[in-house]
């Protein structure tokens, strides 16, 4: 077993374990914190898989921005900090069944499809900021520009929903 494989197994265990805690913990704030662990572990796996830039973006945007937003939302909705007994609906059993079905179908699909296929990471081109930037601004330039429009739309939308009367503003 190579170093990469050992690291992958460790990170994978951490990611899966903390993800389970995200969806099962009784304390809402803990869910957000476990999410940080999951996302961090997945970022580590990205590094192993030669996706350096994606890994850093994952840390910056997901861990840095999205989780902070989620924590803010928990705070602003006055989420209790202690454990709560009624976070889950009573439909836990059907939910387990659906999730199990998804896992079974997707899992067998990928395992059957790629059984015995080796992922060779030696000498792989590392997806650095430079290589990623070069492909984005050449091959993917239209979706990239549209993505900026999407961000603007989301920004305007979020302001529309939360802006006050604007009386203290310039009007």
Partner 1 sequence: MPLWWPLLLSSLLFAIGVYGVLVRRNAVLVLMGVELMLNAVNLNLVAFDAYFRDVLHGGQTFALFVIVIAAAEIGLGLAIVLLVFRTHGQIDVDTMRELADREEPAVAER
Partner 2 sequence: MSSAAVLAAEFQAPSFEYSLLSPLLVIFGVAITGVLVEAFAPRGSRYLLQAVLAVLGVVGALVATVIVGLNLVSRGGGTAHGSIAAEGAIAVDGPSIFIWGTVLVLSLVSVLLFAERRLEGGVLSFAGQAAALPGTEAEREASTRGLEHTEVFPLMMFAVGGMMLFPASNDLLTMFVALEVLSLPLYLLCGLARRRRLLSQEAALKYFMLGAFSSGFFIYGIALVYGYAGSMNFAAISAAVSGRAGGEGLLLGGIALLAVGMMFKVGAAPFHAWTPDVYQGAPTAVTAFMAACTKVAAFGALLRLFYVAFGGARWDWTPMVWVIAILTMVVGSVLALSQTDVKRMLAYSSIAHAGFLLTGFVGAQQVADVGIGEITSLQAVLFYLVTYGFTTVAAFAVVTVVRDAGGEATHLSRWSGLGKESPVVAGVFAVLLLGMAGIPLTSGFTGKWAVFTTALAGGAWPLVVTAVLFSVVAAFFYVRVIVLMYFSDPVGEGPTVATPSILTTIVIAVGFAATLALGVVPGPVLDLAAAAGEFIR
70-109 residues near partner 2, rule: CB under 8 A: 105-106, 108-109
Select from 103, 123, 158, 113 the least CA-distant residue to 50: 123
Return phi, psi of residue 6, to 5°: -60, -45
Closest distance to partner 2 from the beta carbon of 153 (Å)? 4
Answer for which of 1, 120, 160, 168 binds partner 2 (CB under 8 A) is 160
Alpha carbons 69 and 51: distance in angstroms, whole number: 25
**142 binding partner 2? (CB under 8 A):** yes
User: Using CB under 8 A, which residues numbered 60 to 99 contact partner 1?
Assistant: 61-62, 65-66, 69-70, 72-74, 76-77, 79, 86-89, 91-92, 94-96, 98-99
Closest CB to partner 2 among residues 13, 150: 150
Residue 43: exposed, middle, or buried by beta-carbon count in 10 A (0-12, 13-18, 19+)? buried
**119 binding partner 2? (CB under 8 A):** no
Give 5-14 contacts, CB < 8 A, sequence gap 24+. Answer: 7/44, 7/48, 8/45, 8/48, 11/41, 11/42, 11/44, 11/45, 11/48, 12/41, 12/45, 14/38, 14/41
User: Using CB under 8 A, which residues numbered 2 to 41 contact partner 1?
Assistant: 2, 4-5, 8-9, 12, 15-16, 19-20, 22-23, 28, 31-32, 35, 38-39
The listed partner (partner 1, partner 2, none) that binds 75, CB under 5 to 8 Å by sort, is none
Binding site for partner 2 (CB under 8 A): 105-106, 108-110, 112-114, 130, 134, 137-143, 146-147, 149-150, 152-154, 156-157, 160-165, 171
């Amino acid at each position: 077993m190579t170093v990469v494989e050992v690291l992958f197994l460790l990170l994978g265990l951490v990611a899966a374990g903390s993800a389970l805690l995200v969806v099962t913990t009784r304390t809402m704030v803990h869910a957000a914190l476990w999410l940080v662990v999951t996302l961090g572990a997945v970022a580590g796996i990205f590094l192993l898989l030669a996706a350096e830039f994606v890994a850093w973006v994952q840390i910056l945007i997901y861990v840095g921005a999205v989780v902070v937003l989620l924590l803010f939302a928990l705070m602003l909705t006055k989420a209790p900090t202690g454990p709560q007994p009624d976070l889950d609906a009573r439909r836990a059993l059907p939910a387990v069944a659906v999730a199990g079905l998804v896992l079974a179908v997707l899992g067998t699909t990928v395992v059957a499809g790629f059984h015995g296929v080796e992922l060779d990471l030696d000498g792989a081109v590392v997806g650095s900021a430079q290589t990623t930037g070069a492909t984005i601004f050449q091959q993917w330039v239209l979706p990239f520009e549209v993505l900026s429009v999407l961000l603007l739309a989301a920004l305007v939308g979020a302001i529309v929903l939360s802006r006050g009367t604007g009386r203290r503003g310039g009007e």
